[in-house]
Amino acid sequence: MKISKILLPVDGSSYSDNAVDYAIYLAGLSGAHITAVCCYEWVGGLPEINDSVVDQLKNKLLLHAESVLEKAAQKLADNDISHETRSVSGAPGTMLSNLAKSKEYDLIVMGSHGHSDISGLFLGSVTHKVLNTIYCPVLVVPESG
């Protein structure tokens, strides 16, 4: 099996940082192109907040996602890895599952947990959702690899 395209979900957690390192290693061996993706989600339903505050909060989420992607992109570039970045608005599990179902990627490399997960679970909720809805191999990377 040839690995030419790797999907790399990132969120800035230590698990995600280790996944970046593994993806760099694998891309270095295979020459694969990496797509780093960071999902951000606005959870509405706060009736007391006016629209301008909501817009500010949404913008902060986007800026955080872009910052996480910039850090990953710098690490990829420093290692001469072909890559691109994508920020995606929506629930991480759903968005990553949709990307994985596109059959555009040969491998997904992701952390076993992330910032949005409940501690104590065997696998994080986003990782679990992706594992249950994809067709390609997934490398799940622990916090200390």
**What's the rounded mean pLDDT across residues 9-32?**
94
Residue 18 has pLDDT above 80, yes or no: yes
What are the strands of the beta sheet with 83-89, ordered from one edge? 83-89, 33-40, 5-9, 107-111, 138-141
% of the chain residues with pLDDT over 90: 44
Q: Which two tokens stand for residue 46?
A: 């706060």
| pTM exceeds 0.85 | no
Structural domains of the chain ordered from first start: 5-141 (3.40.50.620)
Smallest CA-to-CA distance from 109 within 11, 29, 20, 2 is with: 20
Residue 50 has pLDDT above 80, yes or no: no
SS (H, E, C) 107-139: EEEEECCCCCCCCCCCCCHHHHHHHCCCCCCEE
Residue 117 has pLDDT above 50, yes or no: no
- The more confidently predicted of residues 120 and 86 is 86
- The more confidently predicted of residues 3 and 113 is 3
Paired sense of beta strands 83-89 and 138-141, if any: unpaired
% of the chain residues with pLDDT over 70: 81
Question: Residue 29: pLDDT band by 50, 70, 90 thresholds?
Answer: very high
